[in-house]
Structure 1
Amino acid sequence: MYDRLRYEWRLMGKKAFIPQVLLLVGGGLFALVLAHNNEPAARFLSALLEMLLPLSTGASIALFTVSDSALELQLTLSQKYAMTVSLRLAMLVLWNSCLAFVTSSSIFALGLEFLPQPHPATALLTFLAGQLAWLPSLLACTALGFSAALLLQSRAASVSALASFWLIEIVFKDIMIQCIWLFPLVLFPTTLFPDGLPFSLWLLNRLLVLCVACVLLCASWPCLLFPERLLKGSHQE
């Protein structure tokens, strides 16, 4: 199993894992500049974890999970290609989740957490709430990138679809937050609604987004069971 993980890691290459590190390092340096200029850095750090890292993760999922230059050969092997894609998906999600957890823990240690008021009563609950600020968003963007890649069968189109939804979230945030049936699709409430969302409502949103992400991932996975469609998409790419 270790050899298989190392093989998939090398196959996807540094371009699948390094961009998120560079994003977080660059964001951290920019936060230092903000703090040096006496500007509030907490909300920017929230956006870094809740909005920018999930977008980067979803794009990586769309680019590297369902595209393979040797797809025809992969589909002839005894190892199901669906399991290969699932392994790549898990590796990317785990990698980015670890990066987000380390970054979020550092933000908490520095006292720069950015959460709706009122904060949880204890430090432990505040720390756990900080993880909920980014985890549902990351999984939702993962599910969106994964499903877009499977449905559109094009890396460029799937990344564009993900980026478009990300922009729609920002532009139409006030409309989405007021529609009860769109409320589970509000992916970035911590950053976009710093003052207008009570903590209890924020927590409900985080749990709903988490459920939507899991449902979308489960609903998209069966598309991997149709190799003819995968081959058609790889030839059109």
Structure 2
Amino acid sequence: MKPLTLWQYEVRRAGWAALLGPPIAVAVGVAAAVANPMPSDTTTARILLGTLEMALPLAAGVACASLVGRDPAVELQVTSSTAYRVTLLRRMGVTLGWTAAFAVPMAVVLIATGWWHRWPANHGAVVGQLTWVAPTLGLSALGFAAGAVFRSPGAAGALVTTLWAIQQFFAGAAQEHLPGRLLYLFATTRGAAPDDWTANRLTLLGAAAALIALAFVVLGRSERLISGEDE
């Protein structure tokens, strides 16, 4: 299979959740900023950066949660020359790349127009990109690992959305202790202790790496994947 054809196929197999999630997230976020009932530079900037930190990571996480279990004949996939877990990681890469295709231009526009710097806790134009990179990788890795463990896109997606909602609506409780602060997804727009932001972003990246490694190990057990199709 030619490389271009291969990637086109992986895009189709990633599914509509991966393709539609990011543009819808950006559209909703921009619409919310425009329709803000209390317009001010600070609140509008917070909504726009919140789109990057909250909406896009949720879309990516739900999409990655749906990757495992999409193939109707897994027993054929595990016998191919390319390991099935490599195929799934490739689809995860497609999903994350598509998310970045919307996040990066939006961040560039916000920086160029000055909206990025109108939020006091923006952390700069370069390092500040961890505003969306860290939670996107964190939630995506959680969804991917949950899909591998549960073998159920529904259960994996529910875990991602539940964690997102808990941290969204119970922000104070989520940050009462150091582990919660280090794993808090919305440290840029919902607040973080001055010395916690960098550690928080790095912890999320580390957690993402660990979860992807876990998924890689679990997906290597082909007999478990095949038996899961019969349940």
Fold conserved between structures, TM > 0.5: yes
When the two structures are aligned, how many residues end up with a matched partner? 227
> Are positions 1:100 and 2:103 aligned together?
yes
On the 8 A contact 1:16/1:64 being kept in 2, the answer is no
Is it true that 1:229 corresponds to 2:224 in the alignment?
A: yes
Counterpart in 2 of 1:123?
A: none
Q: Is residue 65–residue 143 contact of structure 2 (8 Å, CA) maintained in 1?
A: yes
SS in 2 for 1:34: coil
1:206 aligns with 2:201: yes
Deviations 1:98-138 (A, max 9, x none): 31111111111221226875765xxxxx1113311111000
Change in 2 beyond 3 A, CA 1:152/1:134 = same
State how 1:106-145 maps to structure 2 within 5 Å.
106-113=109-116, 117=120, 126-145=124-143
Could you say if the C-alpha distance between residues 60 and 12 of structure 1 is closer, same or farther in structure 2, counting changes exceeding 3 Å?
same
- Aligned-partner Cα distance in 1 for 2:204–2:149: 21
Contact kept, 8 Å, 1:184 with 1:208, in 2: the verdict is yes
- Alpha-carbon RMSD across the aligned residues, in angstroms, is 2.2
Q: Deviations over 1:182-234 (max 9, x none)?
A: 332111111221xx632x42122112211121122122211111112112323
User: Which residue matches 1:20?
Assistant: 22
Match of 1:165 in 2: 163
Among 148, 151, 174, the alignment partner of 1:150 is: 148
TM-score computed with the length of structure 1 as normaliser? 0.86
| Whole-Å separation in 1 of the counterparts to 2:125 and 2:106 | 12
Match of 1:76 in 2: 79
Partners of 2:61 and 2:141 within 8 A in 1 = yes
TM-score, with structure 2 as normaliser: 0.88
Deviation sequence 1:36-74 (CA, Å, 0-9, x none): x63431111122111111111010011124431121221
Question: How far off its partner does 1:235 sit?
Answer: 3.1
Q: Could you say if the C-alpha distance between residues 172 and 33 of structure 1 is closer, same or farther in structure 2, counting changes exceeding 3 Å?
A: closer
